[in-house]
Amino acid sequence: MPVYHYPDTLGEACSIMAAGEDAMVYGGGTAVQILLKQGVLFASDLVDIGAVPGLGELTRTKDGLRAGPLVTLRQMETSPLVRELAPLAAEVYGRVANPRVRNTASVGGNLAHGDYRLDPPTALMVLDARVELTSARGKRSVPAREFFVDFQQTALEPGEIITAVEIPRQPEDAGAHFAKLSSLAVNDWPAASAAALVVPASRGRRQLRLGLGALAHVPVFTQFELAGDTPVGEVVATAKEVARPLIDPLPDVRGGSAYKTRLGLVAVEEAVRGSWKERDDERRIPFLGRRRRR
Ligand SMILES: Cc1cc2nc3c(=O)[nH]c(=O)nc-3n(C[C@H](O)[C@H](O)[C@H](O)COP(=O)(O)OP(=O)(O)OC[C@H]3O[C@@H](n4cnc5c(N)ncnc54)[C@H](O)[C@@H]3O)c2cc1C
């Protein structure tokens, strides 16, 4: 059985993490508890960071927002700050599992869990979020897009603790959509998921960013640019063409590889259609507004 620690400061937590032969952080415990019960968690020490000041805070920053690792997924879903500054993130955190899990699971634990099916990384990657890591050796910051390095393996080095996730403000004129397709139950893990964010680029072009979940052995990110007035049907076709070579799903109880590949392309289409507003649509909005006022 691992030895439990309850440090009062971040420095103390880092020292315990450095000294332990195979020390792990205890966040919300939703994954750790299951692994302990299954007898497959091989940790020398479990470091509960719940008493360390500041790790459960959500704050506005110059460029967006900063979430401490102990902010719960439910807080990310419901916080007015997250809804204002990163509505796509609020939407995606709100689609994880069920309220019981979301009320307990933490932002840091979710990322460190490193599962290829996780929902939040899809949004964090398209929003260009960064993960702050702290250890006895110091601090560093890793882009969410580079955090997932291999199957169940993240950029976390031994002794490191996730101490924040920094999310830049979602541009107000960005189009955003998250598609999650589950094959067993509506609040189950996804069989395929896709987050899309469309942001203005130079010379009237638009950039489409895609984050895919459950469709390869790690969460996947890609992006491309198109003329801003490209019809949505063409954007969908391009997105599928770009995404297809990156899709290589692992077969499991939620479906075989071919089935998940098809679902993945459906998720991509849904995310693109929900995020790419045709310029015609934009022109129609003020026109409808004028008619309504008469
Ligand atoms: C029934 C069920 C359904 C689920 N469905 C989904 C789903 O649909 N979509 C989805 O995305 N997820 C799903 N999950 C996974 C869930 O999101 C994770 O279990 C949860 O986010 C882990 O967070 P936690 O705080 O409980 O982590 P913990 O269980 O405390 O820790 C998980 C891992 O992260 C490490 N860790 C924790 N905090 C830190 C930190 N600050 N720094 C470094 N390492 C840390 C731990 O050492 C451990 O390795 C589901 C889980 C359950 C139980």
- Over residues 201-222, the pLDDT tens digits come to 999 999 999 999 999 999 999 9
Residue 190 domain-assigned (yes or no): yes
- Which of 168, 183, 200 is the last residue in one of the domains? 168
pLDDT of 294 reads 36
Residues 157, 34 within the same domain: yes
Between CA 272 and CA 235 the distance in angstroms is 7
Q: Which residues pair with 45 in a beta bridge?
A: 3, 23
Q: 140 with 166: CB under 8 angstroms?
A: no
* Structural domain containing residue 198: 175-281
DSSP secondary structure string for all residues of 158-185: TT-EEEEEEEEPPPTT-EEEEEEE-SS-
- Which of 149, 168, 187 is the last residue in one of the domains? 168
Mean pLDDT of 161-169: 98
- How far away, in angstroms, is 127 Cα from ligand 1 center? 21
Which protein residue's CA is at the shortest distance from atom 17 of ligand 1? 110
Residues 108, 217 within the same domain: no
Structural domain count, the chain: 2
How confident is the prediction for the chain on average, in pLDDT? 94
Residues 89, 111 within the same domain: yes
Which protein residue's CA is at the shortest distance from atom 16 of ligand 1? 110
- Which of 119, 134, 168 is the last residue in one of the domains? 168
CATH of the domain at 277: 3.30.390.50
Mean pLDDT of 111-131: 98
Residue 293: pLDDT over 80: no
Residues 200, 96 within the same domain: no
Confidence of residue 227 (pLDDT cuts 50, 70, 90): very high
- Over residues 7-34, the pLDDT tens digits come to 999 999 999 999 988 999 999 999 999 9
Residues 222, 149 within the same domain: no
Residues 15, 95 within the same domain: yes
- How far away, in angstroms, is 263 Cα from ligand 1 center? 25
Residue 40 domain-assigned (yes or no): yes
Q: 178 with 92: CB under 8 angstroms?
A: yes
- How far away, in angstroms, is 105 Cα from ligand 1 center? 6
- Over residues 30-81, the pLDDT tens digits come to 999 999 999 988 899 999 999 999 999 999 999 999 999 999 999 999 999 9
pLDDT of 1 reads 82
Mean pLDDT of 186-192: 92
Mean pLDDT of 253-270: 96
